[in-house]
Amino acid sequence: MKKIFSNILLLILVLLITLVAVPWNRIDQWGFEIAFLTDNEVLIKGGIGALTIILGLIFLFISNKQYKDNGQVKNSTKNLAVLPMLIYSVSTMAFTAYLAYSMYFAVGLTSLAQLLIFVGSLGAILTILFLGYILVFEYKRVNNFGRFFRTIFLIELVIGTAAISYWHLNYRVSTSYPNISTRYMILLVPLFLLLFFIYLIFSAKISKNHETQNDLENELAVQSRKQNKNVSTEKGSMIISKEQPIVSNSDNLDPTNIVFQDVQVDPEFSRMNNQANQANSIEYYIEKPKMFKPLSPSFDELVAYIRELPQVVTKLDDDRITFYVDRKPFLVLMNFGNYYRMAFKYDLEQGIRLIIKYPTISKNKSTKEELWFKANNYGDIPKEVIYNIVKTAYNNYSS
């Protein structure tokens, strides 16, 4: 309920703030007339700017409290703290840019100063959008002190852009303002809303990726602590090279005779998975594309490539092929004809990058003691990426 309320509040604020970009000199051209808005345009738009500053300060304190209590800031709080001031600054500069454009091209008062103001306003909008990207997506990552200074910067941005807009309107445009045509400026409102919804979708995707990364990092940290606890510290233990034979009762043991361990692949990723239960598995969502692309490399080409790597041992089972180096598995392949599946030992950071870029790649949860990932290749994963996955997984053990 709180999330829905915050989104509704943010949408109302965006609608209100985008009206700042629209000149109110001739409201009657849109089919209605409200003299109060035209007569008090500067005061109302200034009041909207003050409202964005107040909201920024309120949600700054809320953000700091959330960070102190939970170690993170909610997306809805971040948006309410940053977006209103950011959108207001862009709106005031858009208002100034249009007036300067009209004065230079439409009204006929050719002036180098108006041209410079127009170009400068466009440059300011681009700069604000660039800085806004940094401010919005770093707001959750920094500490409370960093959020405080970012809020101060946004407040200065609101005041500065509002002052420029006020100066231009009253000292450069005032006499010609009532005659400037602004019929199509109302289209800025749906344009701003479209950009706002695109931002929400993009922000939600990035937030989800960060949550996945944090979960993987936390899981890896837990695994590292468990492995450290299991390290033997007894006297008499020793590290031997791979070439040195293992001797027991004066008999040499060949290390290659040791049984190769199997890789536990997630049930929904296994070829023997019950087809009747597909609707409850991840396969139902990501493993049934409408059409398959040509596989490059093909399954046979990939197997041949892996077997050519130095010191690789191949274990063939009914439903999979497992590849080992130094008796440790690093890759599992499963052939399904028009596509194939891979499970591979991989680095955390590189694995997260793959998950973010390719939706058919995810973490293999069954290998709890080691970090493995899994992928379905329907032909949509580039050939170079497939080979790079193999090389990296191989080098994790061979290096």
Query: Could you give the percent of the chain with pLDDT greater than 70?
Result: 76
Q: Say which residue the tokens 């990035």 belong to.
A: 206
Q: How far apart are CA 312 and CA 296, in angstroms?
A: 22
Q: Does 120 have pLDDT greater than 70?
A: yes
Q: How many Å apart are CA 335 and CA 312, to the nearest integer?
A: 19
Summarised one tens digit per residue, pLDDT across range 213-241 is 655 655 655 555 555 555 444 444 443 44
What is the average pLDDT across 288-316? 81
- Helix 41-70 to helix 144-168 angle (10° resolution) is 170
Determine the pLDDT at residue 336: 84
Q: How far is CA 30 from the centre of its chain?
A: 40
Amino acid at 360: T
Q: Bridge-partner residues for 345, per DSSP? A: 372
Q: Do 295 and 377 touch, CB atoms closer than 8 A?
A: yes
- Give the helix ranges, DSSP H, for the chain: 2-18, 35-39, 41-70, 75-101, 112-138, 144-168, 188-229, 283-286, 299-307, 348-357, 383-398
CB neighbours of residue 184 within 10 Å: 9
Task: Supply the pLDDT for residue 61.
Answer: 93
Query: Is 149 in a helix, a strand, or coil?
Result: helix
Token pair 């973010």 in the structure block, residue: 356
Residue 271 has pLDDT above 60, yes or no: no
Tabulate helix, strand, coil % of the chain (nearest 5): 60, 10, 30
Would you say 326 and 311 are in contact if contact means Cβ atoms under 8 Å apart? yes
The torsion region of residue 274 among left (phi > 0), alpha (psi -120 to 50) and beta comes to beta
Residue 44 pLDDT greater than 90, yes or no: yes
Q: Which two tokens stand for residue 137?
A: 């997506």
117, 172 Cβ separation under 8 angstroms: yes
Q: Is the dihedral of CA 250, 259, 346, 71 positive or negative?
A: negative
Residue range 2-20: average pLDDT? 87
Q: Distance from first CA to last CA of the chain, Å, rounded? A: 52
- Rg of the chain on CA atoms, in Å: 31
Strand partners, 19: none
Q: Is the pLDDT of residue 16 over 60?
A: yes
| pLDDT tens string 127-156 | 998 888 888 878 877 888 888 999 999 999
Quick one: pLDDT at residue 278?
A: 41
Q: What pLDDT is attached to residue 1?
A: 53
CB-based contacts of 345, cutoff 8 Å, min separation 6: 329, 330, 331, 370, 371, 372, 393, 396, 397
What CA–CA distance (Å, rounded) separates 160 from 152? 12
The CATH code belonging to domain 255-398 is 3.90.1150.30
Q: Given the DSSP bridges, would you call strands 340-345 and 328-335 parallel, antiparallel or unpaired?
A: antiparallel
Would you place residue 279 in the very low, low, confident or very high pLDDT band (cuts 50, 70, 90)?
Answer: very low
Q: Tokens standing for 87? A: 């959108």
For 55-107, the pLDDT digits (tens) are: 999 999 999 888 888 878 888 888 899 999 999 999 999 999 998 888 887 65
Bigger pLDDT: 385 vs 369 = 385
Determine the average pLDDT of the residues in 174-187: 82
Contact 166, 94 (CB under 8 A): no
Sheet containing strand 321-325, strands side by side? 312-316, 321-325, 328-335, 340-345, 372-377, 361-364
What 3-state class would DSSP assign to 239? coil
- Pairing state of beta strands 321-325 and 328-335? antiparallel
State the pLDDT confidence band at 363, using cuts at 50, 70 and 90: confident
Residues of each domain in the chain carrying CATH 3.90.1150.30: 255-398
| Cα–Cα distance for residue pair 201/196, rounded to 1 Å | 9
Reference 161, options 82, 79, 97, 114; nearest CA is 97
* Cβ atoms 351, 339 nearer than 8 A: no
In 3-state terms, what secondary structure has residue 100? helix
Question: With contact defined as beta carbons under 8 Å apart, do 281 and 329 qualify?
Answer: no
Q: What pLDDT is stored for residue 286 in this prediction?
A: 45
Q: Which residues pair with 341 in a beta bridge?
A: 334, 376
